[in-house]
Amino acid sequence: MSGKKKRPVSRKETTALSLLCFGLIIGFWCLASYGRWVDEIFLPTPTAVLGRIVEMAKDGSLWANCRESISRVMIGWIWSVLIALPMGMLMANSKRVSAFVQPIIEFARYLPVVALVPLTLLYLGIEETQKYTIIFLGTFFQLVLMVCDTVSSVDRNMINAALTLGAGRFQVYREVIFPAALPGLMDDFRLTVGWAWTYLVVAEMVAASNGLGFMILRSQRYLATDTIFAGLLLIGLIGLITDWLFRLLSRAVAPWQERLGDKK
């Protein structure tokens, strides 16, 4: 028996389904808050949250907090990429390097980043470097292993062919391994920059005077749930924009992956 071939889902269809999901969540939020199913101190109305965002935009605190948080996330994450990318590529192509480095990477990635905050404060103080380091620690160890796995999936026949044709080791990395792994690496980067945002509150929970994470933690003390929801919505929105930008960047730097996907 030959099964029917499934009709591919169009981009308009996926967009409509995504918007429907957001619409259902917002609709339930409206019902629960405006209908007084939940007390306003626990679940503020969308109007109250949007009003709080407008207030912060007018007094300038919104832009200042967003700017500081974006800066911390991106700097800490870029540190992670700059070290994890070459290390992961070396681990994927050298059993000696992998045997030397991977055990400590596997050990460190299970350490809770929150537990490292006191040590980072002790070693680095309360300056911005401490906050960048928390973001770095939250993404680096996972990214190294993801890069290693992505590079390991490159077809060995391509590498062997390049070596047979006389390519040097660095040339193989530059002209064979990196281009072949680039689409997967872009996905790794996109996922880990999302994780970096989840560690933002941890990075800003001690000795910070600005940022979205600081704003959320400070609002908790005064039960300002409208400000907490505003901060969460802003982090989620910035995260969605970042994810969308990475998808566009991935198509720009690795257009061959899009064409290969269309042929499948």
How do residues 23-54 score in pLDDT, each as one tens digit?
888 888 888 888 888 878 888 888 988 998 99
d(CA 207, CA 83): 27
Dig out the tokens for 48 from the structure: 């109250």
Beta carbons within 10 angstroms of residue 187's beta carbon? 16
Residue 4 or 117, more confident: 117
Quick check: is 29 in a domain? no
**pLDDT value at 10 more than 80:** no
CATH code (residue 66): 1.10.3720.10
DSSP helix/strand/coil, 45:
coil
Quick check: is 12 in a domain? no
Cα end-to-end span (Å), the chain: 22
Backbone angles phi and psi of 205, in degrees to 5 = -80, -20
Helix residue spans in the chain (DSSP H): 11-34, 46-59, 61-93, 95-108, 113-124, 128-152, 156-164, 169-172, 178-198, 200-203, 212-221, 225-253, 255-263
Quick check: is 138 in a domain? yes
For 196-251, what is each residue's pLDDT tens digit? 988 888 888 777 778 888 888 888 888 888 898 999 899 989 988 988 888 888 88
Quick check: is 32 in a domain? no
Percent of the chain, pLDDT > 90?
19
pLDDT recorded at residue 54:
92
By the 8 A CB rule, do 189 and 245 touch? Answer: no
pLDDT recorded at residue 134:
92
Quick check: is 40 in a domain? no
Quick check: is 35 in a domain? no
Question: Which residues constitute the domain of residue 163?
Answer: 54-263
Quick check: is 199 in a domain? yes
Q: What's the total number of domains in the chain?
A: 1
Give strand ranges (E) for the chain: none
Quick check: is 201 in a domain? yes
**pLDDT value at 82 more than 90:** yes
Considering the entire predicted model, what is its pTM?
A: 0.83
